[in-house]
Amino acid sequence: MVAMVIMRSSVIIISRVVDAVQIKQGILQKKVFMEENIAVLFALLATGVHLYTVKAGNFDFIHNTAAVTILLSYILAYTIRIYIMNYYKNTRAKGVPLDNNGFFGIEQIAAFTFVVMLSILFFNATQWFGLEVPQIIDFHNAFVLPNTMWFWGVISGTAFGVVAFFSVFLFMFKGRTATFAGLVNRLTSLVAGTTATLLSAILLGAKYPEMQDWISLFFIFIAVGFLSVAEKKRTMELKAEKSL
């Protein structure tokens, strides 16, 4: 949970930074509404609640070198991705319709190819390079000595992949800033996560959400409220520009 909220908050920050950079570059001609900035603040408060309420004995994410390295890689990759998405969206000539087919085709093909290449590399890393790293060995054994529950693992991964695919479209909302789209993408994930935790507790006897989860959800709903106000403003702006 701590890792998830750190990742969510990092993308929210990245989205706002991308807007600031592209406004400075003259690529983004729109301003970020005050309500969007306030929503960012409450979203960060929601994620910060988890960071400052980690119980003793839990995984220390911040002081783990591997975890922080992975997080920084994640942030770098998402920074590039969100910048390119918004560059593609914001540099169209006036009156040219937004067609995302080419962008998503290239992105999905490139991502799939890269993942397959890395998977082949990691699968053979021990044999090719003599790497005896536990994580690489576990990755290799997941294919040659799969767990008896592998099928359900694949099903759960497929469900995540389907959801992740459609969530990307949130970043490409016509006329919306990266701040708004990034917030919508991440906040919906946090709401869904809390809802899933609650359903798991009711139906499967798992743990109920803790106090910090409910506090985070409260802050999230406040952020969503400010986003709703910003969305009304943006819709009026687009209608005035005859872009909607």
pLDDT at res. 244? 57
What pLDDT was estimated at residue 57?
53
pLDDT (0 to 100) of residue 59: 59
**Look-up: residue for tokens 């990755």?**
139
What's the maximum distance between 2 C-alpha atoms anywhere in the chain? 63
Residue 241, pLDDT score: 75
CA nearest neighbour of 196 among 159, 234, 142, 166 = 159
d(CA 200, CA 209): 10
At 53 the pLDDT is: 64
- If we measure between CA atoms, which residue out of 90, 49, 94 comes closest to residue 179? 90
Q: What Å distances lie between residue 178 and 13, 30, 62, 169, CA to CA?
A: 10, 11, 27, 12
Q: Which residues of 16-52 are buried (b: 16+ CB within 10 A; e: fewer)?
A: bebbeebbeeebbebebbebbebbbebbbbbbbbbee
Task: Identify the pLDDT of residue 14.
Answer: 87
Report d(CA 176, CA 238) in Å as an integer.
10
Which pLDDT value is given to residue 87? 87
Determine how many CB atoms are found less than 10 A away from the CB of residue 12.
24
pLDDT digits (tens, 9 = 90+) for 58-96: 556 667 788 788 888 988 988 988 898 888 888 877 777
Amino acid 51: pLDDT: 66
**pTM for this one?**
0.69
For residue 64, the model assigns a pLDDT of 77
Q: Which residues of the chain have pLDDT under 70?
A: 1-5, 50-62, 98-102, 164, 167-168, 171-172, 243-244
- Given this model, what pLDDT does residue 75 score? 87
How many angstroms separate the CA atoms of 126 and 166, rounded? 36
Task: Give tens-digit pLDDT for 206-234.
Answer: 888 778 778 878 888 888 888 888 888 88
